[in-house]
């Protein structure tokens, strides 16, 4: 891909990573095609030393591209976290206990892997058979989604730790038929002023009978779930909200 035609605003992921690496390093050249593209676009420049050695330096134009990329990444991260919180809220309203980025080990292809689903939830119940563990993987950028879909082992790990797995997609980044059939698809509708509104199921996830292994129980015991919901009905009436974990709350 040629980057030589200005103005350069966005970079392919490989080029952006190389530019960041050179900015953080001593600037030793690799002399490959990616470096040629960045030099031709004016994002890098060659610096000659008295002893004949040559290093690379990120130009002011390159710094500007990195800054714009950083701003977009921060915005996307903020959107991602907002949608994660939206999913957590919906799980709590459905009577479930939810965890964010819970680290769970799963056995995939005779090897143990560590997976961190965006939202992991179980029913609020004392009956183990009714727990119904569910994974929700949140995506707000199409590029991140496409990269994730190439990781079949990641989905396999999710299905080893839950009875159902859903992709929660920001509106407009993908169609339901692009998501593998072993996963459900939920779309988050964007609000005109920013943020996300309703979560709409486009395709239900296949439901499987699933019992939590001992390692998952230990991970849940060590982790902290999302804060319990306040009593929304009382808050709406103007009364002081009562937390579910308040020891002085009336029975």
The CA distance from 183 to 207, in Å, is 10
Considering the chain, what percentage of its residues have pLDDT values greater than 70? 86
Q: Is the pLDDT of residue 240 over 60?
A: no
Query: What tens digit of pLDDT does each residue of 204-220 get?
Result: 999 988 888 888 899 99
- Cis peptide before 7, with omega less than 30 degrees from 0? yes
Query: What tens digit of pLDDT does each residue of 152-168 get?
Result: 999 999 999 999 999 99
Helix 13-24 with 60-93: angle, nearest 10 deg: 120
Long-range contacts of 120-124 (CB under 8 A, 24+ apart): 120/161, 120/162, 121/91, 121/96, 121/97, 122/96, 122/97, 122/212, 122/220, 123/95, 123/96, 123/97, 124/95, 124/96, 124/97
Please provide the CATH number assigned to the domain covering 76-226: 3.40.1350
Q: Where are the domains of the chain?
A: 13-58, 76-226
Query: What count of other Cβ atoms lies within 10 Å of the Cβ of residue 202?
Result: 15
Query: What tens digit of pLDDT does each residue of 68-80 get?
Result: 887 777 766 688 9
Average pLDDT over residues 10-28: 88
Average pLDDT over residues 131-145: 95
**What is the pTM (predicted TM-score) of this model?**
0.67
């Amino acid at each position: 891909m040629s980057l030589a035609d200005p103005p350069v605003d966005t970079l392919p992921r490989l080029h952006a990573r190389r530019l960041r690496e050179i900015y953080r390093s001593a600037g030793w050249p690799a002399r490959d095609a990616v470096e040629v593209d960045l030099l031709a676009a004016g994002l890098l420049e060659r610096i000659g030393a008295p002893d004949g050695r040559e290093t690379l330096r990120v130009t002011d134009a390159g710094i500007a591209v990195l800054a714009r990329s950083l701003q977009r990444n921060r915005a996307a991260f903020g959107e991602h976290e907002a949608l994660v919180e939206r999913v957590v809220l919906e799980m709590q309203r459905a009577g479930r206990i939810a965890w964010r980025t819970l680290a769970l080990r799963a056995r995939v292809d005779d090897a143990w892997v560590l997976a961190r689903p965006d939202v992991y939830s179980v029913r609020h119940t004392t009956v183990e058979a009714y727990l119904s563990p569910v994974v929700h993987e949140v995506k707000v950028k199409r590029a991140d989604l496409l990269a994730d879909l190439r990781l079949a082992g990641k989905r396999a790990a999710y299905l080893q730790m839950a009875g159902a797995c859903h992709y929660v997609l920001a509106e407009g980044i993908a169609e339901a038929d692009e998501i593998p059939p072993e996963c459900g698809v939920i779309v988050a509708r964007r609000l005109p002023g920013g943020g996300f509104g309703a979560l709409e199921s486009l395709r239900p996830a296949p439901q499987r009978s699933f019992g939590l292994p001992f390692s998952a129980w230990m991970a849940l015991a060590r982790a902290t779930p999302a804060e319990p919901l306040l009593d929304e009905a009382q808050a709406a009436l103007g009364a002081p909200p009562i937390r579910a974990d308040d020891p002085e709350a009336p029975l």
